[in-house]
Structure 1
Amino acid sequence: MGTRVTALVWLFSLAFALLGYRFYDVQLSQGDYYGKQASASYTIGGYLVPKRGSIYFSDKNGEQFPAAVNKEYPVVYAIPSEVEDPVATAAALAPIVQDISQSDLEATLSKKDDPYEPLIKRPTEEQTQAIRDAALVGVYVGSGLDRFYPLGKTGAHVLGFASTNESYWLGQYGVESYYNQILGGVPGEASGDKIKEPKNGKDIELTIDPNIQSHSEEILSTLVEDYRGEGGTVIVAEPKTGKILAMASYPSFDPNDYGTFDIGSFLNPSVQSIYEPGSIFKVITMASALDAGKITPDTTYYDSGELTLNEHTIRNWDLKSYGTVTMTNVIEKSLNTGAAFAERQLGHENFYEYLKKFGLKDQTQIDLPGEVTGSLLPLEQDIQDINFATASFGQGISITPIRLIMAISAIANGGDLMRPYVNASNKPQKMGRAVSKDASRQTVEMMVSAVDKAQIARISGYTVAGKTGTGLIWSRFFGIMVVARPRRLVA
């Protein structure tokens, strides 16, 4: 499986909790016959349906893997204007078509001004052969296109699916929806002998690595099932670029069989759900205070195990007190009181401004549909010390997983807030600067210390920086691999 993938698998193990009809080549040089064929076989309502572009995943070597393609299927249709004897033709068709009565077939085949009538949309091999053997004038076996997802459930929430009302394909959810105009192309027109050819859709290559994606999905599903959780997400990103290498969610769905799933299954939790980030948020608090020069990694405070503000008491996750500790110790031991201390040194107004620098008031602008925005309302409508204290360790506020991973990416990459993307043709886009390079480096070093002390997330041969999302149950874990030159961020 390779050292890098093996390393990612170990990190993933900590990440719990959370196409229409085809337009055929029309030979215009052959005149009326092919004009009628185009008008009959490949049009719906006078429109020629373009071929939808394919979607590909790509690995680190640039190899492409088909993720959404067009798949041919047979179609039995009639051109009534060519049918010489509707009565005899209907009598011959009735035993083959079965779903349409002989009288209805006769009426359909008698429509001399009708250029196209579908008879069997998904014929069996026996029906197809029977039609060919019958060799009825004006009755043909053609082809249509289905949208097919060769990898099944893999990357389903990123891909979405495309549905048809038999006049056009419409992307639903995911990349199929976001890039529908590019994938779908432009319909042509057919009227009599005049044909305006359609413009086929364009292919799209995604940044999703199928190996990382499939491994993350397998491990995530195992963890959720083993721990009887409701669901979970895993995102793997390149901090320097914002490129998304994997985005897994559980439960998932099969885009080849989307009609059997509840509509809620199609929502992508990574961009369309918000939640309290939990203790991982401590690193954002620390990075902010470090950047403002209000603390250093060695700044100390006395931890009594609890802190009372506005008649509310917050306690460390393990209900223990640790005495005099450093800010690095706060990250190592995930101390709630320590995060609150760092926030107080920074000040409420500055803390809130840093959250905005990390993009927490905005969407990431990822190229996926339906992204929602988190909420900092407790810090805006009810300005109390307790609300800022709890926010310092990720409670009382809510954000999406994709927003959180991009905020942590800013810490991993030297302070730049990047726009995440899944279309490989996109370019890295810097959205702003969250903190300085020095503050970024110091925070990452504190996270490395947390992994080294905990040991559970250590990987032989790699320097890993990490932070759990909670203390009692490790429902979230962020890992940064190869810290000197951060290449992967796993959430």
Structure 2
Amino acid sequence: MITMVRNVSRWFKVNRFMGKCTVIGVLLAFVAVACLGQLASVQLLNGKSTAQAATASRTKTVTISAKRGKILDTNGAVLAQSVERYNVVADPELAQTFVPTDCKEKTAGNCQQIDGQPVGTTGAAAVARLLAPILGMDAKELGALLSGTGQYVVLKKEVTPEVMRSIDDLGLNGCVYGELSSERLYSNGTLMGALLGGVNDEGAGVAGIEQMQNAVLTGTDGYKKYERGGEGVEIPGTVTESKDAVDGSDVELTIDANVDWYVKKVLSDAKEQYKADWAIAVVQDVQNGQILALEDTDQYEAGSDDAKLNTSRAVSQTFEPGSIGKVFSMAGMLQSGAHQLTDQFTVPGTITKNGQTFKDATQHGDEHWTLAGILEQSSNVGMVMAGENFSNEQRYEFLSKFGIGQDGLGLPGESDGVLTSAASWDGRTQNTVLFGQGYATNALQVTNAIATIANKGVKQQQSIIKSVTDANGHTEDAKTGEPTRVIDEQVASQMMNAMESSAEHYSKFAGVDGYRVAAKSGTAEVAGSDGRLTSIISDWSGIIPADNPRFVVTVVMKDPQGSYGGLTSGPVFKQISEFLMQKYEVPASTPRTDAIAVTW
């Protein structure tokens, strides 16, 4: 009986075991069938799409940055250029799997260590420790960036090629790499600071010439698509698509950096000598309207935030030109037939017109001056008297023809000045415009107006861009507007004669040995910080040599000690002109023999 019970029990245990085996076998069979089915699905039904997905996950598109064009002076000296830099980029996912290799005899040249010791950790922390001393960054800050999600994070921008090579030498298995970038460098500090302007973080011009010529200077980026391996490096022969970058064009200015540097120095010295608030100077080539120097005493470094936020004072500052404006009005009188330079006037110390009284800078009794003498003596009273046959409409017409109140170079922030219509002038303004008050201009406009007289009555379009050279080396000269005749050549010659007499009036202060000068000084009251007429503008614009005009130099100063333009801005003109005559080896002048009488 006991034996039977044992046999029955053994039978049940055997069958239970066999049942379990059967169940497990069936389950394994189902799993195998499912795996085979999935394998068939992947390889036979969805093989193509799966392969494409895998390729897509390995494919990377890299931007090939175009280099921004250079800005050069007229002699080819580099004023602004973009140099090779790299943005250091990391793949956080790869960085978090990084395991450094200890440096041993077998791993020499392909290992990582810090100060001769093992890195001591793995993943993002290890990468951060290795990078920190090279990038000059905190390891914790780097570790935080590398511990994020995704496959792309910028660790540091615009590192030098030397720094990038040091990173490559670390052997970080592709989790950190460099993207080619560039940095904008300016070679002359505050020279032409706000005039050159600067670029933003994206490399686009936002001020000055950088903004004015942005479309020309900016290149077109290229790209490259390739597959990368498990360590993030490019798989050779997997480039599927690429396009070369096209660098921006180089822009050559008419500015001569050597002249501009000297002008800046002279202005800075004059500001200190005369205790002026500021000073401006322009040097222009008479024959073609090209600007050789355009400076002020502001000390903004090109590319700095100050240069980006402030416009060059030389193009933005407006002022009443004072007695320099007498040149434009008198030229209009001659051109319209209202007067000749030999016309005789008895000029008192004051005159009342339309209920308004006008006076000269110095007190005097009745003087016998010709029209040329009125300019030589810079008489406001004489100009009002001469204006009798010169209508308001003619006064406005000739100021406009000479370029007053009009755009010059088209630079960002350049002021057009203010010249209201003749119909809006009150009883005083219609006469003050005869001697350079009642309207506002800038140094560029004054310079070109005087250059028009020097150029035999023909006004050139001013220019500061000389040429553009594209990435293929093709150079194209900049286009300028057509010249326009403002006054007849004979009238221009007569005005040169009168201006030469005016310059001789200040020859002790503003004369240039060996060279004849035709010029006019100006002094005008302007509003001070209190809004009242408590400030002085002192200016001087001169042509040298007068017998064979080459250059016009204009100098403007605010509140200099000495006030009168001939005594402050005149000596600055003298210094700049002496430099120009020497640099360009201009032949000395012939003696003057045809001076028009200034008295009678």
* Structure-2 change in CA distance of 1:311 and 1:70 (3 Å): same
Report 1:179-328 matches (<5 A).
179-189=213-223, 193-256=240-303, 258-259=304-305, 261=306, 266-328=310-372
Number of the residue aligned with 1:78? 90
In 1, Cα distance between equivalents of 2:145 and 2:415? 51
Which of residues 144, 167, 190 in structure 2 aligns to 1:131? 167
Is the 1:185–1:201 contact (alpha carbons within 8 Å) kept by the matching residues of 2? yes
SS of the aligned residue for 1:134 comes to coil
TM-score (norm 2): 0.67
Which of residues 172, 177, 180 in structure 2 aligns to 1:140? 177
Is the 2:88–2:155 contact (alpha carbons within 8 Å) kept by the matching residues of 1? yes
TM-score (norm 1): 0.81
Is the 1:288–1:354 contact (alpha carbons within 8 Å) kept by the matching residues of 2? yes
Number of the residue aligned with 1:162? 199
SS of the aligned residue for 2:538 comes to coil
Moved more, 274-283 or 121-130: 121-130
In 2, Cα distance between equivalents of 1:53 and 1:429? 25
Q: CA deviation at 1:227?
A: 2.1
Number of the residue aligned with 2:424? 381
Which of residues 399, 413, 426 in structure 1 aligns to 2:455? 413
Q: CA deviation at 1:402?
A: 1.2
In 1, Cα distance between equivalents of 2:72 and 2:86? 25
Q: Does 1:392 align with 2:429?
A: no
Which of residues 91, 98, 104 in structure 1 aligns to 2:144? 104
Which of residues 384, 391, 394 in structure 2 aligns to 1:340? 384
Q: CA deviation at 1:80?
A: 5.2
Moved more, 181-190 or 64-73: 181-190
Moved over 4 A (4+): 79-84, 122-130, 189-193, 471-474
Which of residues 380, 396, 402 in structure 2 aligns to 1:358? 402
Paired amino acid for 2:399 = L
In 1, Cα distance between equivalents of 2:146 and 2:93? 13
> In percent, how many aligned pairs have the same letter?
29
* Structure-2 change in CA distance of 1:410 and 1:102 (3 Å): closer
Number of the residue aligned with 2:520? 467
Q: CA deviation at 1:411?
A: 1.1
Q: CA deviation at 1:84?
A: 7.8
In 2, Cα distance between equivalents of 1:220 and 1:415? 30
Number of the residue aligned with 1:53? 69
Aligned length: 435
Which of residues 442, 452, 463 in structure 1 aligns to 2:494? 442
Q: CA deviation at 1:445?
A: 0.8
Paired amino acid for 2:504 = D
* Structure-2 change in CA distance of 1:36 and 1:50 (3 Å): farther
Q: 5+ residue gaps in structure 2?
A: 1-54, 100-121, 227-239, 468-477, 526-535, 555-600
In 2, Cα distance between equivalents of 1:278 and 1:150? 37
Which of residues 350, 370, 373 in structure 2 aligns to 1:329? 373
Which of residues 470, 475, 479 in structure 1 aligns to 2:542? 479
Paired amino acid for 2:484 = G
SS of the aligned residue for 1:145 comes to strand
Is the 1:184–1:201 contact (alpha carbons within 8 Å) kept by the matching residues of 2? yes
Is the 2:158–2:182 contact (alpha carbons within 8 Å) kept by the matching residues of 1? no
Number of the residue aligned with 1:151? 188
Is the 2:69–2:251 contact (alpha carbons within 8 Å) kept by the matching residues of 1? yes
Q: CA deviation at 1:343?
A: 2.5
Describe the superposition over 1:390-427 as per-residue Cα deviations: whole angstroms up to 9, x where unpaired: 11111111112212211111111011122111111225
Number of the residue aligned with 1:178? 212
Paired amino acid for 2:287 = K
* Structure-2 change in CA distance of 1:403 and 1:328 (3 Å): same
Is the 1:86–1:106 contact (alpha carbons within 8 Å) kept by the matching residues of 2? no
Q: Does 1:372 align with 2:406?
A: no
Moved more, 330-339 or 133-142: 133-142
In 1, Cα distance between equivalents of 2:481 and 2:489? 18
* Structure-2 change in CA distance of 1:322 and 1:252 (3 Å): farther
Q: CA deviation at 1:163?
A: 2.1
Q: 5+ residue gaps in structure 1?
A: 1-31
Moved more, 348-357 or 325-334: 348-357
Paired amino acid for 2:458 = D
In 2, Cα distance between equivalents of 1:125 and 1:434? 56
In 2, Cα distance between equivalents of 1:120 and 1:461? 60
* Structure-2 change in CA distance of 1:107 and 1:160 (3 Å): same
* Structure-2 change in CA distance of 1:184 and 1:313 (3 Å): same
Is the 2:521–2:540 contact (alpha carbons within 8 Å) kept by the matching residues of 1? yes
Describe the superposition over 1:165-193 as per-residue Cα deviations: whole angstroms up to 9, x where unpaired: xxx31112221111100001223355664
Q: CA deviation at 1:351?
A: 1.6
Number of the residue aligned with 2:20? none
* Structure-2 change in CA distance of 1:127 and 1:436 (3 Å): closer
Describe the superposition over 1:254-306 as per-residue Cα deviations: whole angstroms up to 9, x where unpaired: 024x13x3865x21223223211111011111111111122111111111111
Paired amino acid for 1:195 = S
Number of the residue aligned with 1:117? 153
Paired amino acid for 1:327 = L
* Structure-2 change in CA distance of 1:104 and 1:69 (3 Å): same
Is the 2:95–2:146 contact (alpha carbons within 8 Å) kept by the matching residues of 1? no
Q: CA deviation at 1:362?
A: 2.7
Higher relative CO (Cα under 8 Å, sequence separation at least 6) belongs to 1
Is the 2:198–2:307 contact (alpha carbons within 8 Å) kept by the matching residues of 1? no
In 2, Cα distance between equivalents of 1:66 and 1:262? 18
Number of the residue aligned with 1:429? 481
Paired amino acid for 1:318 = T
In 2, Cα distance between equivalents of 1:249 and 1:80? 50
* Structure number with larger C-alpha Rg: 2
In 2, Cα distance between equivalents of 1:209 and 1:200? 25
Describe the superposition over 1:130-164 as per-residue Cα deviations: whole angstroms up to 9, x where unpaired: 63453211123565321001111112233111222
Moved more, 391-400 or 466-475: 466-475
* Structure-2 change in CA distance of 1:230 and 1:99 (3 Å): farther
SS of the aligned residue for 1:121 comes to strand
